[in-house]
A = this chain, B = another copy of it.
Amino acid sequence: MQPNEPFMDPPRLPRGFFAAGRNVGLKTEDNDLALFLSRRPAAAAALFTRNHFPGAPVTLGRQRMRRGQLQGLVVNSACSNVATGEAGLEDAREMASLAAREFADFLGEDGKKAHDAEALEERVLVGSTGVIGRRLPMDRIREGIRGMGSQLGTDPWPAARAIMTTDSRPKVFSLQVGDAVVTAVGKGAGMIAPNMATMLVYLFTDASVEVPELQAALREASRSSFELLSVDTDTSTSDMVVALANGEAGEVDHRAFVDALTALCTRVAEEVARDGEGATKLVRVLVDGAADSSEARTVARSVVESPLMKTMAYGADPNVGRILMAVGKCVGCRIKPERVNAAVQGIEVIRGGRSVDFDESRVRELLGGDPVEIRIELGVGTGQGRALGCDLTAGYIEENAAYASS
């Protein structure tokens, strides 16, 4: 991960990728339906939620990923199409079919020749997030999607806005790798925890990458980004991270490609945390000196998920004993209390398992910033691990106490 990767400004879709976004009446305002298209079939890799109740789009997606090839995506917000049974699966299939027709229209004669709409449909992945347990209003989608093919263009923003649910801002980032570009379009906000999140992340590149390499790269990038992310410990039923590589820019250095993918995924993960429901800031917890990296991650996650740490980060109140509490509650980990040191925003607050005198007003001031970084040194081994999260605010409660009806 290169934290200082120079992200392209503005970000843009790689060659041969197109997107469109529109309001079709699922949300009261802003776009709610997105299309993404590669003009040629692309090598594809995907990671899906491990929740036992995957939404219909996830079930369909798993089937369609078997061939390792994708060409288009259709994504809606406001309704997740989860717990909707066989009818929901039919709705997801119909969404893909409707999208394929638009894609075929856009691709014109070439597209129609090369891939008739039916074959293209098999290369369309569906994504849905929003309320669980309700059927999609398919009439609105049927009506609204009509003509979207003609809106497909190189501007990623209308589509990036359309996939947002409770996100406050769209998330699009690009990196250059040799002659190629890798671009991430993501959404997050709530029901976000390791083993994926209520998170949709689409990665597009014109680099030429074989399917096994793409899948391995996506796993590696995800492990040090999305797998470290927890907004609220709740694992969504709809998560997916999908990568499409259409090869239009030819081959690139593989290590550079993996690094770029990792940097993009890290950036999206951090932005998802920072834009977590009600959140005002990103919280990074870095653990060093654990017995092994797995225990380091466990401790980091325990701290990043602790509601008391999260409210401390929000209130900027240096009640740093909560860090010890959150480390100490990892009952399965090898921890020697007298060896634990911790620093908040670079200022040592715990040494040898005990509070040290520190400049409270300075820490308070630094805790007011974004991000908040907590470093913990366990002193028992060489294991390192990180976790990404956010503060917990009254805004989270407000958003979630009345979500179904909004």
Contacts and interface: CB of A to CB of B under 8 A. Distances in A.
Q: This chain: how many copies in the complex?
A: 2
A178 interface: no
A337 interface: yes
A108 interface: no
Interface in A210-258: 232-237
B83 A233 contact: no
A330 B402 contact: no
A85 B324 CA distance: 13
A6 B23 CA distance: 60
Contact of A319 (B305, B350, B394, B403): B403
Interface stretch (A46-54, A259-267, A285-293): A46-54
A317 interface: yes
A311 B83 contact: no
A311 B392 CA distance: 13
B51 A307 contact: no
A394 B400 contact: no
Interface string A125-136: 000000111100
A362 interface: no
A321 B132 contact: yes
A405 B340 CA distance: 24
Nearest to A324: B53
A169 B52 CA distance: 40
Contact of A308 (B191, B307, B350, B352): B191
Given A82-B321, A191-B325, A321-B82, A392 B402 contact: no
Contacts of A314: 397, 401
A312 interface: yes
Q: Which of A320, A328, A337 has the most CB of B within 10 A?
A: A328
A317 B401 contact: yes
Contacts of A392: 397
Nearest to A352: B85
Contacts of A321: 80, 82-83, 131-134, 237
Contact of A401 (B52, B315, B335, B404): B315
Contacts of A177: none
7 contacts: A51-B331, A52-B327, A232-B308, A235-B329, A312-B404, A317-B403, A394-B394
